[in-house]
Amino acid sequence: MDKKLLIVGNWKMHLNVHQSSLLVHRLQERLSGHRSLEVVIAPSMLTLQPLSQQIDRRRLKLCAQDAYFKDDGPYTGEVSFAMLGDLVQYALIGHSARRLYFGEDLDTVRDKVQAAIRNNITPIICIGETKQERDAGETKQVLHDQLTTALMNITSKEIERIVIAYEPVWAISTFDGILAKPSDAQKALRYIRSQVEDLYGKRVAEAMRLLYGGSVDNHDVRSYLELPEVDGVLVGAASLNYQKFVAIVNQAHQIQTERK
Ligand code: PGA
């Protein structure tokens, strides 16, 4: 199976237009465009338009961090997936910051996944349990509920375009930031793949790209990417530092070469 590793940098609410442009410039100077990898950045909404003109698509692709599920209408302050269609190839959906800070519920995530698909944007659906849920032994139930609702009404054709990122909330740098053991990531990703298999069959489950995210940096990325279950990483804090992010991409390239 020939899956490209997917490395995604989530810049969150950091960097203004000028700073974003500078970081893209630095990244493009150092990334050589590996054909076996996809390198994606998710800058703030404000910078997507100028960066779409600056990026070299052989090296970098753009991802939105969020968008609204209606295509247009009187939704003051929102930007729709329809408006982003020409700018981005990917969109994060249901990131834990959206769920926890902005009260995004399961149904909203489901509607956003459909809006992204409708507008030809590949959803990267983020799922993961909080520390409290993990301590209460609810991890599988939480992952099951988040996954099955997000995929509700997704056809067997559409599912081929979807990416799932497992990000345990307790491992994200902005929340508890405890580094997850690779075996924790492995266990959860196996469970997620088995759920996809129950819903869509073995072929789809094996072909689906599953990412891991949560305090991934240039020192620990290898331990996650070496897991056979992992098809890429979602990187937050470390993606704001070009040296760290380039080191992550280079290691991914090395691992991809070793895998072949
Ligand atoms: P982190 O963020 O790498 O800073 O933990 C990951 C994320 O929130 O997507």
pLDDT in tens, 209-236: 999 999 999 999 999 999 999 999 999 9
> Which ligand 1 atom lies nearest to the CA of residue 214?
5
210 three-class SS: strand
Ligand 1, atom 1: nearest CA belongs to which residue? 236
35 three-class SS: coil
Asked if 47 contacts 20 with a C-beta cutoff of 8 angstroms, the reply is yes
Cβ(173) – ligand 1 distance below 6 Å: yes
Confidence of residue 93 (pLDDT cuts 50, 70, 90): very high
d(CA 116, CA 112): 6
Ligand 1, atom 8: nearest CA belongs to which residue? 236
**Residue 205 above 60 pLDDT?**
yes
d(CA 212, CA 189): 8
- pTM, two decimals, is 0.97
Helix crossing, 17-30 with 242-259: angle to 10°?
40
Mean pLDDT computed over 2-15: 95
**Residue 1 above 70 pLDDT?**
no
Residue 211 is predicted with a pLDDT of: 98
Q: What is the pLDDT of residues 41-74, one digit of tens each?
A: 999 999 999 999 999 999 999 999 999 999 999 9
> Which ligand 1 atom lies nearest to the CA of residue 96?
8
d(CA 129, CA 99): 11
Mean pLDDT computed over 187-207: 97
- At 205, list the tokens: 């489950």
64 CB burial (10 A radius; 0-12, 13-18, 19+): buried
Residue 9: in which H helix or E strand, if any?
strand 5-10
More confident residue, 34 or 227: 227
Ligand 1, atom 9: nearest CA belongs to which residue? 236
Mean pLDDT computed over 129-137: 96
Confidence of residue 80 (pLDDT cuts 50, 70, 90): very high
Cβ(251) – ligand 1 distance below 6 Å: no
> Which ligand 1 atom lies nearest to the CA of residue 97?
8
Residue 175 is predicted with a pLDDT of: 84
Tell me if residue 138 is catalytic. Answer: no
**Residue 176 above 80 pLDDT?**
no
Q: Is 12 left (phi over 0), alpha (psi -120 to 50) or beta?
A: left
Tell me if residue 160 is catalytic. Answer: no
> Which ligand 1 atom lies nearest to the CA of residue 177?
5
- Pocket test residue of 14, 235, 244 for ligand 1, highest count of atoms within 8 A of CB: 235
Cβ(215) – ligand 1 distance below 6 Å: yes
Residue 177 is predicted with a pLDDT of: 83
Strand partners, 24: none
Task: Determine which one of 95, 104, 129, 253 is catalytic.
Answer: 95
Distance (angstroms) between ligand 1 centre and the Cα of 202 equals 30
**Residue 94 above 60 pLDDT?**
yes
